Structure 1
Amino acid sequence: MANFIVNGGRPLSGTIRPSGNKNAVLPMICASLLTDAPVRLTNVPDITDVHKLVAYFQSLGSDVDYDTTAQTLALHHKGDIDAKAIENLPLGIRSAILLLAPVLIRHGRLKFDVDAKGCALGIREIDPHINFLQAFGCETLPAQGIDMVLKSRPAAHSIWAEYASVTATETFLMIASVAEGTSVLTNAASEPHVQSLCHMLVQMGAQIDGIGTSRLTVTGAQRLEGAEMRVPDDHHEVATFLALGGVTGGRVTVETDILSEMPLILDQFAKLGLRFSQDAGSVTVTDWTREVTPPLTQQMTAKIEAAPWPYFPADLLPQAIGVSVGCTGDVLFWNKVYEGALGWSGELAKLGVRAHLSDPHRLLVFGGSKLKPAEVEAPYIIRVVVGLLIAAIQIEGTSKILKAEPVRRAHPNFIENLKALGADAHWEDD
């Protein structure tokens, strides 16, 4: 596992374009298995999870043309898919869960161990996926692990989900898109990457109403066609580079076509003293006052809450925490999604940060800390690596982030992009 070395206290400035959204491209790639027609994706990020899915499809005998330089991926899953290889899911990545519906639709059977993983955010339930598939007619056979069969075309079904799970919503969308009849999911996730999958499935022939809302109505197609889609920019990366520019005293411009997704995100970072200006197709961080915007209710502490979209995204909470360590005021961070996502906060003390973990969901960061460079260790959570970097890069001196490798799962050419903006940073192989 590689370590990340950063010499902080240097302003980052310049213009950058974000990469394609990891959370959008992975379900889009998996959905390509729903059709035997060609699918072509552009703005595909060069990340490890994409490479693992590409290797899986190559093992099936599919035609795969992945051009990392051009950021394009062409997939063609013809009728001669290797029946033995199709059940060998790449279970080392969380996105393997998104192959359940496509494999059952394409192959009719799937056996796997319940050990799909990819992060340390806490328990990631597989139950909603299995329940959704069963509702559409998939049978679960007695076995060690999971053994499921789909003997005929899925029948449409209406489901009211217990909570708005992104990946479970995507499983619903994929099986409903080929089901006979009209299906409805209430309490659906509505994140931008879920919307991207919806638009792809519509282009392939499904009819989907309610895109971007918590109720999705899907009329399935007898046969899905091919598609050509652009993977949207990653709003996490937009915010990340703005935060990095701001806390270093620089001026970073991010060129992107997803500014419509950014108002609440920018508002929450503005609570931490970051200042922004926008033009058509770009947003620039112009200043960092370090002052926390106090609530009008004097008895309360400034607060940033993360919850399912359209709330502030949980995947951006570490970045906001990284900014807050250099602020003059106190901030309460509340993660309403994951129960284990703030356990890393103890590492902040090594950087001189005064903070208190109230419970698994709430972290209070006190203002006015005397920061110092340090060696910190990241858990296997992509965005926490970035959060620790944002904290360290604002501190003069050399800091080391141990086990920083997970950042490559979502941010291609991350070091190169930082250096282009003026950062003094590099990888160190452990």
Structure 2
Amino acid sequence: MNVFEVRGGKKLQGEIVPQGAKNEALQIISAVLLTPEEVTINNIPDILDVNLLIELLSEMNVKVNRTSRSTCIFKADDVNIDYLHSPEFKKKSGRLRGSVMLAGAMLARYKKAFIPKPGGDKIGRRRLDTHVIGFQKLGTQLDYNQEDGFFHLTAEELKGTYMLLDEPSVTGTANIVMAATMATGTTTIYNAACEPYLQQLCKMLNRMGAKISGIGSNLLVIEGVDYLGGTTHAMLPDMIEVGSFIGLAAMTKGDITIKNAGINDLGIIPEKFRQLGIAMDFKGDDIHIPSQDSYTIQKYLDGGVLTIYDHPWPGFTPDLLSIVLVTAIQAHGSVLIHQKMFESRLFFVDKLIEMGAQIILCDPHRAVVIGLEREHQLRGITMSSPDIRAGVALLIAALSAEGKSTIQNIEQIDRGYQNIDTRLQALGADIKRVAI
């Protein structure tokens, strides 16, 4: 087991390149099961969740040629379907909620799939209803086997249909889209997710021979085809890493340039950090965050306290609310953070309060941050990472704090951020990965 030992208070400086997008990778890599031809994926993030998924595919007898840590060639021409019903698959996929993304591709090509109990973050309930209901509307039969703990999904034939999603789930939409690509007839998905990651998946599928229209909107139309072929695809930069580095620069008074940030696909993320008073300059596709001794949270025109909340794209992503919250700790002013989607994602604030932050946890979904205005530094403590995003928020707090912090359960951070310790060391951070 490893921990991070962090000695904070240093101004970070330099350039950093965001990894490939984790949330995109889980969808794109699952989609290689749709074709027996070669699919080459570039800019793959070298992180635990993605590596687990690649291992799963290899154990399913998918040919995997990882020519570098960021590039992989897949060929699913001899898939072992029965592996998906094995104790080994159940054990490994239980560590990775993203394994559910295999179901849509398996149904499209093989007309059966198995879904074990999902794993992943400890941030409250994460429903699979959108996935399953969408599959059922396409003609899939669902049975739960208590003895083996799997949901069994089977279909004699997938048939295109109209569906209105109960929620614009990104993974749910992606799974349904993959299943619908090879269904008979036309599938219309209304209230579909339209995040850049979903757009990337649809564009890749179209290059493989799918017929998907409405990409970038919440109304997708998929005309089923009989066969999908190989392609080459490159991941977007990870927008969550980009937002994390913006917050990191502000909290450490750092001067950081985020190279190749994918600005055109960031949506309102930069604007939300500007609302916290953080200055940034766009230079081509790079974002420069200059050193700031202070930053002031905006108020509404009527003088009301700013509220930042999550919302389906093009609204603000819930994955960055933890980062926004910790960034507001040293600001001038106050902000209400409203986490609508997950009821346990704000519970990590008790550690920030122990470090000296002024935060009022109103309920499982809302927290008020009262800025310290740089009058007091946070103090280092020992803490544990409860999920990927909260873990990095705690790491940002530790890097800005006075004294030594120890962060436990860093496997959660490794699930979403590749080599984060060595990349931060290159910016001047005092962070060590220590075996205990």
TM range (shorter): over 0.9
Question: 1:269-318, CA deviations, whole angstroms, 9 ceiling, x for partnerless residues?
Answer: 122221101111211001332322222212x2122112211111110111
Name the aligned partner's letter for residue 38 of structure 2: P
Change (3 A) 1:142 1:165: closer
Aligned pair partner of 1:147 in 152, 164, 178? 152
CA distance in 2, matches of 1:336, 1:13: 34
Q: Structure 1 residue 318 and structure 2 residue 318: aligned?
A: no
Q: Is 1:345 matched up with 2:349?
A: yes
Aligned pair partner of 1:92 in 92, 95, 107: 95
Given the superposition, is the C-alpha separation of residues 257 and 344 from structure 1 closer, same or farther in structure 2, using an over 3 Å criterion? closer
1:304 equivalenced with 2:302 (yes/no):
no
After the TM superposition, which residues 141-290 of structure 1 pair with which residues of structure 2 at under 5 Å, given as runs? 141=143, 143-144=145-146, 145-152=150-157, 154-256=158-260, 258-262=262-266, 264-288=268-292, 289-290=294-295
Task: List per-residue Cα deviations over 1:14-56 (Å, max 9, x = no partner).
Answer: 1121100000011100011011111000001111122212221
TM-score, structure 2 length as denominator?
Answer: 0.93
SS of equivalent to 1:132: helix
| 1:95 Cα deviation after fit | 0.4
1:12 equivalent in structure 2 = 12
Match of 2:66 in 1: 66
The residue type paired with residue 318 of structure 1 is: S
Q: Which moved more, 1:318-327 or 1:362-371?
A: 362-371
Give, in whole Å, the separation in 1 of the partners of 2:99 and 2:105: 11
The answer on whether the counterparts of 1:67 and 1:73 sit within 8 Å (CA) in structure 2 is yes
In the alignment, the residues of structure 2 paired with residue 172 and residue 83 of structure 1 have an alpha-carbon distance, to the nearest angstrom, of 19
1:155-206 Cα offsets, whole Å, 9 max, x none, are 1011101111111101111011111221111111111111111111111111
Offset at residue 263 of structure 1 (A): 5.1
Letter in 2 for 1:134: Q
Q: Which range moved further: 388-397 or 15-24?
A: 388-397
Deviation sequence 1:243-291 (CA, Å, 0-9, x none)? 2122212211111151113352111112222110111121100133232
Report the equivalent of 2:46.
46
Instruction: State the alpha-carbon separation in 2 of the partners of residues 350 and 401 from structure 1.
Output: 14
Shift of 1:84: 2.2
Counterpart of 1:372 in structure 2: which amino acid? L
Paired with 1:182 and 1:161, the residues of 2 have a C-alpha distance of 16
Percent identity over paired residues:
30
**Aligned counterpart, 1:132:** 134
Q: Is the 8 A contact 1:303 1:332 kept in 2?
A: yes
Match of 2:76 in 1: 77
Amino acid at match of 2:82: K
Q: Does structure 1 residue 362 correspond to structure 2 residue 333?
A: no
Against the structure 1 CA distance between its residues 185 and 261, is the aligned structure 2 distance closer, same or farther, given a 3 Å change threshold?
Answer: same
Q: Answer yes or no: is the 8 Å Cα contact 1:182–1:218 preserved in 2.
A: yes
> Letter of the aligned partner of 2:57 in structure 1?
F
- State the 1:211 CA deviation: 1.1
* 1:292 equivalent in structure 2: 297
For residues 322 and 102 of structure 2, the distance between their equivalents in structure 1, rounded to whole angstroms, comes to: 29
Query: Which residue of 2 is the match for residue 407 of structure 1?
Result: 413
1:112: how far off? 4.2
2:107–2:179 CA contact under 8 A, matched in 1: no
Label 1:130 to 1:10 Cα distance change in 2 as closer, same or farther (>3 A): same
The residue identity in structure 2 corresponding to 1:370 is: H
Counterpart of 1:293 in 2: which secondary structure? coil
Is 1:424 the counterpart of 2:436 in the alignment? no
Partners of 2:114 and 2:242 lie apart in 1 by 39
Contact 2:188 2:220 in 1 (8 A): yes
Shift of 1:214: 1.2
Q: Residues 142 and 4 of structure 1: is their aligned pair in 2 closer, same or farther, counting only changes over 3 Å?
A: closer
User: TM-score normalized by structure 1?
Assistant: 0.95
Whichever residue aligns with residue 91 of structure 1, its letter is: G
Segment drifting more, 376-385 vs 176-185: 376-385
Alignment-mate amino acid for residue 392 of structure 2: V
CA distance, structure 1, for counterparts of residue 384 and residue 319 of structure 2: 15
- The answer to whether structure 1 residue 372 and structure 2 residue 378 are counterparts is yes
Preserved CA contact (<8 Å) 1:274 1:287: no
Which secondary structure state, in structure 2, belongs to the residue aligned with residue 86 of structure 1? helix
DSSP-derived class of the 2:256 partner: strand
Change (3 A) 1:156 1:8: same
Tell me, yes or no, if the aligned pair for 2:35 and 2:76 is still in contact at 8 Å.
yes
How many Å separate the matches in 2 of 1:418 and 1:172?
Answer: 38
Taking only aligned residues, the RMSD between alpha carbons, in angstroms, comes to 1.7
Counterpart of 1:123? 125
Whether the 8 Å contact between 1:185 and 1:215 is mirrored in structure 2 is yes
CA distance in 1, matches of 2:67, 2:244: 26
Separation in structure 2 between the aligned mates of residue 143 and residue 396 of structure 1, nearest angstrom? 53
Aligned positions, number:
425
- Report the AA paired with residue 40 of structure 2: R
Q: Write the distance in 1 (CA, Å) between the matches of 2:213 and 2:142.
A: 30
Match of 2:81, SS state, is coil
Moved more, 57-66 or 140-149: 140-149
Instruction: Please report how far the alpha carbon of residue 118 of structure 1 lies from its aligned counterpart in structure 2 after TM superposition.
Output: 0.5
Q: CA deviation at 1:11?
A: 0.9
For residues 81 and 386 of structure 1, what CA distance do their matches in structure 2 show?
37
Query: Who is 1:36 aligned against?
Result: 36
